[in-house]
Chain A
């Protein structure tokens, strides 16, 4: 079974600065998707960015980018020019592309709470 680990329970960043959130995962598969979701105080889960494992190029969405290291099974999220609205819980998630039921679910890490200081 796949596992996803986020080793930073809390992080803080000064407004306009850059912060990196860490995520590692364990899998024996070669094809899969990785996601970062944001959960603000409203508790709505918002997809931030997606990475396909077969792509070597790191995904980027505006101020959000990832550093995907497949061999190291690492998938960190970098937030540039942090804004007050970025304050939230961030969850890393894995989705298998393998057969059977494994691809039906997202497997989430425990989350990192990001605080943004004005």
Chain B
């Protein structure tokens, strides 16, 4: 049973380019969460999605960041016009249900470097 898959594992972008991060949840999981980890810090919640729905985006920056989880295919976190401050590790987690009590299973993360 494959775990949460994220790709790419490492992504380098120049300032002003777009970054697209992909997350495939565990089999049978329909809930996806994105977190960002800045260097030497803990993870910070960004967004929670179910298939075709954004449920909670309270942690997303208001500009340049967007997320989707289509009916088919992986969840995508998109960062437009990246800046140096976007350099971080981005983690995706999934759960079988969004209800309280279910652990979130994390992927290996994507390390984004903006040059």
Contacts and interface: CB of A to CB of B under 8 A. Distances in A.
A35 B55 contact: no
Nearest to B3: A44
A24 interface: no
B56 A104 contact: yes
Contact of B42 (A47, A95, A108): A108
A103 B106 contact: no
B98 A91 contact: no
A45 interface: yes
Interface string A80-118: 000000000001000111000101111111110000000
Contact of B100 (A50, A95, A111): A95
Interface in A23-81: 33, 35, 37, 42-47, 50, 52
A47 B89 CA distance: 18
A106 B93 CA distance: 10
A110 B41 CA distance: 5
